A and B are shown apart, each in its own frame.
Chain A
C-alpha cells in the first residue's frame, strides 16, 4: 500500500538558516506526484511545492525546493533563509491513482518547524 513517512515530529532552525524536512514514500506506481503543504497555527492548508515522478529537475518555488531522490523514494523539502513566519506544521503528501482511475492523496503525519530568532 502507498505510504508517506515523516520521521521528524519537530524541528528547530535558527532564523536565516536553511532547514531540510524529511519525507519518504512508498508506491508501486510509475506515475505519481509529491506535494508539500504548510499549516500555520491559524489552521489553513497552504500548498507549497509539487514534484512529478517524471520530472527530471528538482522543483523550486522561491525559498522552497524539493530534493527528489527517486531511487531512494525520498522527497525532502528544503527551506532556505528561514523566516519567523515559516514556523508551522509541514505535511508531505502523495497523489495516487485509484483502481477507478481517479486521484486521491495520502498525507504524512507532519513535521512541526519552529524558527528561532
Chain B
C-alpha cells in the first residue's frame, strides 16, 4: 500500500515549456486534489476532483489543466510554464465515507521555472 505517489520529485523547466505532474493513489479514494505551496502562503488549491470524470477549479487554477484519468490517477499539466509557477506541488486524496475525511498527501514535487 503505497498511499499517494507523485512523479517527478524535482523538475526544472524553462519558461514556455510544458510538463505533466503525475499523481496516483491506491486507497480507493473518490476525491483527489492538487495544491501548490509557496513560502508564507500555506497550501492553495489548484484543482480538485470529486470522482472519476469530474474536475473543478480551486483557488488558483489559471495556467493549469487537470485530468482525472481513472479513480486512481489525477494529473496536473502546465501548458506553458512561467516563473510564477515555481512552487512545491502536492497531490492529495480523501475518502468520502470515513469519519474525518482527512486528506492523505503525496510527497510533493518541487518545480523550478527559470
Q: Which residues of B contact A100 (CB under 8 A)?
A: 50, 56
Q: Is the CB of A105 within 8 A of B88?
A: no
Q: Which residues of A contact B107 (CB under 8 A)?
A: 43-44
**Residues 25-49 of A contacting B (Cβ, < 8 Å):** 33, 35, 37, 43-45, 47
**Residues 64-116 of A contacting B (Cβ, < 8 Å):** 91, 93, 95, 98, 100, 102-110
CA gap between A93 and B35 in the complex, in Å:
13
Q: Is the CB of A50 within 8 A of B48?
A: no
Known pairs A33-B100, A50-B100; A106 contacts B45 (CB<8 A): yes
**Residues 14-51 of B contacting A (Cβ, < 8 Å):** 31, 33, 35, 40-45, 48, 50
**Size of the chain B interface, CB-CB below 8 angstroms:** 28
Point out the residue from A102, A105, A109 that lies within 8 Å of B103, measured CB to CB.
Answer: A105
CA gap between A47 and B42 in the complex, in Å:
15
CA gap between A82 and B101 in the complex, in Å:
27
Known pairs A102-B48, A104-B58, A110-B42; A44 contacts B105 (CB<8 A): yes
Q: Is the CB of A104 within 8 A of B102?
A: no
Give chain A's interface residue range (CB within 8 Å of chain B). 20 to 34
How many Cβ-Cβ contacts under 8 Å join chain A to chain B? 60
**Residues 72-114 of B contacting A (Cβ, < 8 Å):** 88, 90, 92, 94, 96, 99-105, 107-108
Q: Is the CB of B33 within 8 A of A104?
A: yes
- List 4 tightest A-B contacts by C-beta distance, closest first: A102-B50, A50-B100, A45-B105, A109-B42
CA gap between A52 and B101 in the complex, in Å:
10
CB proximity of A117 to chain B, nearest CB, Å: 26
CA gap between A106 and B44 in the complex, in Å:
7
CA gap between A45 and B107 in the complex, in Å:
8
Known pairs A102-B48, A102-B56, A103-B31; A91 contacts B100 (CB<8 A): no
Q: Is the CB of A44 within 8 A of B102?
A: no
Q: Is the CB of B101 within 8 A of A33?
A: yes
CA gap between A104 and B96 in the complex, in Å:
11
Q: Which residues of A contact B101 (CB under 8 A)?
A: 33, 95, 103
